[in-house]
Structures are given as C-alpha cells and as structure tokens.
C-alpha cells in the first residue's frame, strides 16, 4: 500500500524559507498571502497490506528518520485504508 507522509515545521519555529516564498509571491503581484510555511511531502510504497501494521511501521519511520521531532511535526495517510 502507498503512504503519503507530510512533514511540517512546528508552530513557533521560524521558517526563513517560507518567508522568502511569501516575499517572492508578493513580488509576483499575488496579493492576500498572509503567511507561508514550507514542509516536505514523502511518498512511501509499503509491502505491508495490513493497515494497522503499516501505521506502526510509518510511526517508526517518521520518529526515527523522516521528521526531526525537535522542530517538525508529521502526519501520514494510507491510500485505500
């Protein structure tokens, strides 16, 4: 099954890249952008077919590698589960 993992910066963590994107959008003349936060999107193909076990594996992946718990939050969804 396929999992989609989203990693985002925690609230309160400064995101200079997000700020730069917001500035660039303003420079393009796109109005009304109040804030931009940049994160990561990761697709993972799993051999596992049991959703519960797949979630267990994803928890471990996110905690140990995909996200840095000091500054990032993560969430994931399983396709078809």
Partner 1 sequence: MKASVIVFPGSNCDRDAAVALQSVTGKPPQMVWHGESELPKSDLIVLPGGFSYGDYLRSGAMAAHSPVTRAVVTEARKGVAVLGICNGFQVLTETGLLPGTLMRNASLKFICKDVHIRPERNDTAFTRLYETERAIRIPIAHKDGNYFADDETLTRLESEGRIAFRYCEEDGAVTDAANPNGSQRGIAGLYDERGRILGMMPHPERVADAVHGGTDGRRLFESLIETSQ
Contacts with partner 1 by CB under 8 A lie at 13-14, 16-17, 20, 64-66, 68, 70-71
HSE (side-chain half, CA atoms, 13 Å) at 22 = 12
CA 69 to chain centre: 12
- Using DSSP, state whether 24 is helix, strand or coil: helix
Q: Smaller CB distance to partner 1: residue 31 or 43?
A: 43
Q: Smaller CB distance to partner 1: residue 50 or 75?
A: 75
Which of 72, 71, 53, 50 is closest to 5 using CA atoms?
A: 72
Q: Smaller CB distance to partner 1: residue 14 or 52?
A: 14
> Closest separation between CB of residue 16 and partner 1, Å?
5
């Amino acid at each position: 099954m396929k999992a989609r993992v989203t990693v985002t910066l925690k609230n309160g963590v400064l995101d200079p890249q997000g700020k730069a994107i917001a500035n660039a959008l303003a420079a393009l003349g796109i109005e009304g952008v109040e804030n931009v936060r940049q994160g990561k999107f990761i697709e993972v193909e799993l051999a596992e077919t049991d959703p519960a076990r797949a979630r267990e594996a994803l928890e471990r992946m996110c905690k140990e590698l995909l996200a840095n718990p000091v500054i990032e939050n993560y969430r994931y969804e399983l396709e078809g589960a």
